[in-house]
Chains A and B, each alone.
Chain A
Amino acid sequence: MAQKDWLGLKKELPARRRLVLTILSFLLPLALWSAVSYIPWLWHPYVRVTVPGDVGLYDEGTYVPVADFKQQVAECQRDKVAPPEGELTNPVYLPAPHQVFRAFYTAFTTAPELQDDPWLYQALGRSIRTIFWGFVLSSLIGVPLGILCGTYRFFARLHEPFIEFFRYAPAPAFSALCVAVLGIDDAPKIAIIFIGTFFQQVLVIANTVRKVDPALIEAAQTLGASRWALVRRVIIPASLSDVYTDMRILLGWAWTYLIIAEVVGAMSGISAFIVMQARHQHFDNVYAAILMIGIIGFGSDLLLAKLGTVLFPWKRPRGAGAKRTWIAWIREPGPAWRKSVRKITPAPAQP
């Protein structure tokens, strides 16, 4: 029966099971990580020296391979000197989960090692700012151009072949050029995100716009829509929700270009933070920063997905559409809004 079948092909799972699996998808890697970190006989190829004893090579906190350590202990016992003591540990580049989670907090509260280095929140802020401007500038030109190409064959023929050619030139290839033209500050970084996003954006959006159901366009024509009205009142709104989804995917790509952008010119943002922390062997901070990028990216996408269901109520599954929100008011101020407000606010208690 479907109820018992966890592996049904192309069958949607019940909501409860979906949630369980979503949580599991995060818990499984975490469990693996915890196992490697906390079970002493799993991996743990090093010994961290706690008491150096009489071994001149050892200091407190030195990492030595297990075999070397055992040999030193044996030699000390043979020579009747104080043997070193230590605990089994993983390499310094694999901190345990609790250390990383602690770093989540401490990374924000710890001052940078050098006076001029940015705090973590400053680094993150700079990264987000770089992505934001790169993506916004790209969208300002890319979205209208994409819609234009998707609507009119003329513009598609005029622009798309070149863009198609140009998008194979990888954005990093332009890094030297960007720095030469735009200096070493934020401008070349934004330019790289722009280059990485823009060309894909035009092509993807043009394709989405081309997929608008021609029957809708014909229906509008028989209702007397002029050329311009067809674009403004049919083609754009018909493709808008899919364009929105495209934008979410493109924003994900922009994050991958961020790392390239940040090592261009003067290293900056979260990449610079990660490199600095790694140089100082603060790998817990490195992992915390990586997780933060993941959380920001994943979180913003979830948020945008949620916003999508508000912006495009007709895309909601049947039955869920009756709920109207503030966006209804933006589209159609007046009675509809007032009616929905009446519905939402509880009726005052009868005296």
Chain B
Amino acid sequence: MIADYQSQNPAVADRFARIKQRPVRLTVRGLRKSFLSDGQERTVFDGLTFDVHRREFICVIGPSGCGKSTFIRIVAGLDECSGGELLLDGKPVGGPGPDRGMVFQGYTLFPWLTVKRNVMFGLEMQGKGRETADVEARQWLDMVGLAHVENSYPHELSGGMKQRVAIARALANEPRILIMDEPFGALDAQTRAQMQSYLLQIWKKVDVTVLFITHDLDEAIYLADRILVLGANPGRVLEFIENPVPRPRTPDQCVTPEFMAIRHRLEELIHPPVEVEEERVPMVKMTSAGDEVE
């Protein structure tokens, strides 16, 4: 038996009512991205419209081709949109800047800098002195539990540790919004689960809005307040789902009715039942062993 995914639980409704009262951090109005290819205009996505509030944790999911990566690259300022409005705290977003931190899927720590110097990088870019940057970097490394490897080089760390340093490096700038592009995609399942709970712990301590891209539905449900489901061809908002699974989240929640209900709904949205035409498979003539013998 699967419960309706839109929870009727008053506690959940209350939680989202409170979130909506917080100031709006990111405003997306009719955002469109298209590019020219062979003289034809191709639309990546069109008409994205939604608000994200302060300290909200948003997961973005969608099939490949829905433009989710392009969308967050635009938020980060690494790509330009073709139309519509994108406001951060009411101000239009321009090129990349320290108010929007980003954690990439690949490991983008600077290999020539030690772990601590990596975290200090952004701080120094903000014009903070060596000493201040040093102290702050240490605190951020402490927060992600990696103070003991501050003098190691990135190549000496495991994949999970590298991403934790990358998170510390992005957060050290105290960005308004933390953008994460499938940050745990390259990790094995166990490390990934660990990283998810690490991330929630860190997020609890920091005043930051998170925009997290993933293709793992369980990951999205485990982490998010709201889940933005995008559709493909062209990319558009299918639904912006309020996640009813209560916090604090634990891995055991994945068997609760709420969890199963929302997962079911996400499955429906992401993999709609398609009528598959029976394909005509050409018959392959199999040589039997007997033929060969003769």
Q: Chain A residues in contact with chain B, CB under 8 A?
A: 213, 215-216, 218-226, 229, 233-234, 237-238, 240-241, 312-314, 318-319, 321-322, 324, 336
Contacts and interface: CB of A to CB of B under 8 A. Distances in A.
Interface string B119-137: 0011001100000000000
A221 B78 contact: yes
A304 to B, nearest CB: 18
Nearest to B95: A221
B125 A229 contact: yes
A302 B159 CA distance: 33
Interface in B147-193: 151-156, 169-170, 173, 179
A222 B125 contact: no
B112 A312 contact: yes
B153 A321 contact: yes
Contact of B104 (A219, A224, A229, A237): A219
B113 to A, nearest CB: 8
Contact of B156 (A221, A319, A324): A319
25 contacts: A213-B108, A215-B108, A216-B108, A216-B110, A219-B102, A219-B108, A219-B110, A220-B125, A221-B77, A222-B97, A223-B101, A223-B122, A223-B169, A224-B96, A224-B125, A226-B125, A233-B121, A233-B125, A238-B111, A312-B112, A314-B111, A314-B153, A314-B155, A319-B156, A321-B155
Residue from A215, A226, A324 with most neighbouring chain B CB atoms (10 Å): A215
B47 interface: no
Contact of A224 (B156, B173, B179): B173
Contacts of A213: 108
| Nearest 7 Cβ contacts at the A-B interface | A224-B98, A223-B122, A219-B108, A221-B96, A222-B102, A224-B125, A314-B153
Given A223-B173, A314-B154, A318-B155, A218 B78 contact: yes
A225 B108 CA distance: 15
Contacts of A225: 121, 125
B168 to A, nearest CB: 12
Interface residues of B, number: 31
A324 B152 CA distance: 10
Residue from B97, B108, B155 with most neighbouring chain A CB atoms (10 Å): B108
Interface in B61-115: 76-78, 95-98, 100-102, 104, 106, 108, 110-113
Contacts of A237: 110, 112-113
A45 B155 CA distance: 61
Residue from A219, A225, A336 with most neighbouring chain B CB atoms (10 Å): A219
Nearest to A219: B108
Contacts of A226: 125
B147 to A, nearest CB: 15
Given A215-B108, A216-B110, A238-B112, A222 B78 contact: yes
A223 B104 contact: no
B45 to A, nearest CB: 20
Contacts of A324: 151
Contacts of B77: 221-222
Given A223-B122, A224-B126, A215 B104 contact: yes
B156 A321 contact: yes
Given A215-B108, A237-B110, A240-B112, A224 B153 contact: no
Nearest to A213: B108
A292 to B, nearest CB: 37
Contacts of A233: 121, 125
Contacts of B121: 220, 223, 225, 233
A238 B108 CA distance: 12
Contact of B101 (A222, A234, A321): A222
B122 to A, nearest CB: 4
B96 A222 contact: yes
B74 to A, nearest CB: 13
B78 to A, nearest CB: 5
Interface string B234-275: 000000000000000000000000000000000000000000
Contacts of B95: 221
A314 B152 CA distance: 9
A226 to B, nearest CB: 7
Contacts of A218: 78, 96, 102, 104, 108
Given A222-B102, A223-B173, A318-B155, 6 more contacts: A218-B78, A314-B111, A314-B153, A314-B155, A321-B152, A321-B153
A211 to B, nearest CB: 14
Contacts of B125: 220, 223-226, 229, 233
A238 B110 contact: yes
Contacts of B169: 223
Given A215-B104, A321-B156, A224 B112 contact: no
A258 B108 CA distance: 43
Contacts of B102: 218-219, 222
Nearest to A216: B108
Nearest to A218: B78
A59 to B, nearest CB: 69
A222 B96 CA distance: 5
Nearest to A220: B121
Contacts of A223: 98, 101, 121-122, 125, 169-170, 173
A222 B14 CA distance: 35
A324 B110 CA distance: 18
B156 A336 contact: no
Residue from B76, B95, B112 with most neighbouring chain A CB atoms (10 Å): B112
A319 B104 CA distance: 26
Contacts of A240: 112
B104 A314 contact: no
Contacts of B97: 222, 224
